[in-house]
A and B are shown apart, each in its own frame.
Chain A
């Protein structure tokens, strides 16, 4: 059971390392403040229905776009910059165990931020009578989306020893993957190249995210998020294997 033990040890260390710097608290506060601000002020502005938690989940992708890369940018680039990757990968752990431990720690950390929003959802539940399925589906979709953005962020973090470059790259990639399936954007392009838009949109997070928002948990959506994460983790594995010392 070395594999489980190693992954757990790395997971624990990574998760603790978030809380050993003020970054974790800044992150949690910023996420919670922004999500409320967007839901209640900007959301109101567009006259979204308060009792509908969809108005709340609507903003998650845009928050993740900035905050997830911020939480993931140091995962590998910092190891490379400081050289700790050499001590880490000469311990009897496989690269996969190290990757998984780091990924899960970051995911749990972001998941914590997401779950801390629960009072907001309770408030909307108090105001109206939202469908429980919508809430469960919303949170599940949100967590899966966060994990997918995170897998992109971890990938770009493995590409460079510079955290800023890692951050910018993952924002750009996530933005593309979000916008490619976002109705206002797809509607704009669909007139010119309907086939292409459809194809690109099928890679996007958004359609899957929105479909989970409706409270329908479709296996295809789960499979989409799972395969996106697995693909990005495999790509990260490859990148680190090839460029460890570079």
Chain B
């Protein structure tokens, strides 16, 4: 289990991370979202013991990263942003170095490295030097490095950045497979990824947590959530007026033959709309309840009034 307690980081006047707290249990995959400069990387660097926090701490599987850093680091596998790995080493030698530091020796070390190479599909490049690999392969080497010791806590800063669509799938599948027995925290800018792998999302903005909830419950905050979309095959001039007059409808957007009825009462809207269109002379091409989109929620939570996403200054 990972407990993040009141983490703060200031650089001069910039508050990069401002009182961030959250817990992640085993079996959870936490998606860390936020605009550029929100403080995701800084938070992860503090959790993994790379950056000393200005205040606050993180407890990793029972070990405080500030008071027992080495024990805490043993619990963690970390994939930093941009996958920094030694470019002059070969993939195999690099992973062997990691295995040695992780405490594997002799045959156990070789078995670990072999297994990890296979798992991360690096067999084809095992003797190639890392500097000559493509960006996606470098990312995979760094991913392999993080997984090698089968850590209890896996922290990944934009793990699918630079991967092709197939590889993104592979990595997401791997994350889902590992999720049951691990604590996983990953940051991403891809909102579909949150739906695909995360059981919970933390949205951070200007160094502060703006939301901490499951993807579904976040979507529920969207204005579009519960709205009903109707496609008409044949135009019906009075359609908009009729829809707007429903007691459970807040407003109606019309665009060609597509109507979106925003909900005033989410529970009743679909019934009301359905009863209305069933009765009259509507040529219905399709009708469905909208889920709402994470994009919209993300934008609402992270944009300032002036439309920018700058970190707040302490001035």
* Interface, chain A (partner B; CB < 8 A): 2, 5-6, 8-10, 12-13, 16-17, 20-21, 82-87, 89-94, 241, 244-245
Contact = CB atoms under 8 A, between A and B. Distances in A.
Interface stretch (B97-105, B175-183, B291-299): B97-105
Tell me what chain A mostly uses at the interface: helix, strand, loop, or mixed.
Answer: helix
Given A20-B88, A92-B101, A244-B51, 9 more contacts: A5-B103, A12-B97, A12-B100, A82-B87, A84-B84, A86-B84, A87-B78, A90-B76, A92-B74
B83 to A, nearest CB: 9
Interface centre among B50, B129, B142 (most CB of A within 10 A): B50
A21 B88 contact: yes
B142 A245 contact: no
Nearest to B82: A83
B84 A90 contact: no
Contact of B45 (A9, A21, A86, A91): A86
Contact of A17 (B70, B82, B89, B145): B89
B100 A91 contact: no
Nearest to B48: A90
A82 B84 contact: yes
Contact of A9 (B49, B82, B100): B100
Nearest to B75: A92
A82 B81 CA distance: 11
Nearest to A81: B84
Contacts of A86: 45, 50, 80, 84
A40 B301 CA distance: 75
A139 to B, nearest CB: 31
Nearest to A98: B101
B140 interface: no
B73 A91 contact: yes
B93 interface: yes
Given A90-B73, A91-B73, A84 B101 contact: no
Given A6-B101, A90-B73, A93-B101, A245 B85 contact: no
Interface string B87-126: 1110001000110111100000000000000000000000
Given A6-B101, A9-B97, A90-B73, A84 B51 contact: no
Nearest to B74: A92
Interface in B27-62: 45, 48-52
B84 A87 contact: yes
B86 A245 contact: no
Given A16-B93, A17-B89, A89 B50 contact: yes
B97 A90 contact: no
A92 B73 contact: yes
Contacts of A82: 84, 86-87
A87 B76 CA distance: 12
Contacts of B76: 90
Contacts of A21: 88
Contacts of A85: 84
A89 B73 CA distance: 9
3 shortest interchain CB distances as A-B pairs: A83-B84, A9-B100, A92-B73
B73 A87 contact: no
Nearest to B45: A245
B85 A87 contact: yes
A93 B82 CA distance: 22
Nearest to B51: A245
A6 B86 CA distance: 17
Interface centre among B52, B69, B82, B86 (most CB of A within 10 A): B86
Interface string B146-178: 000000000000000000000000000000000
A77 to B, nearest CB: 14
Contacts of B142: 87
A20 B145 contact: no
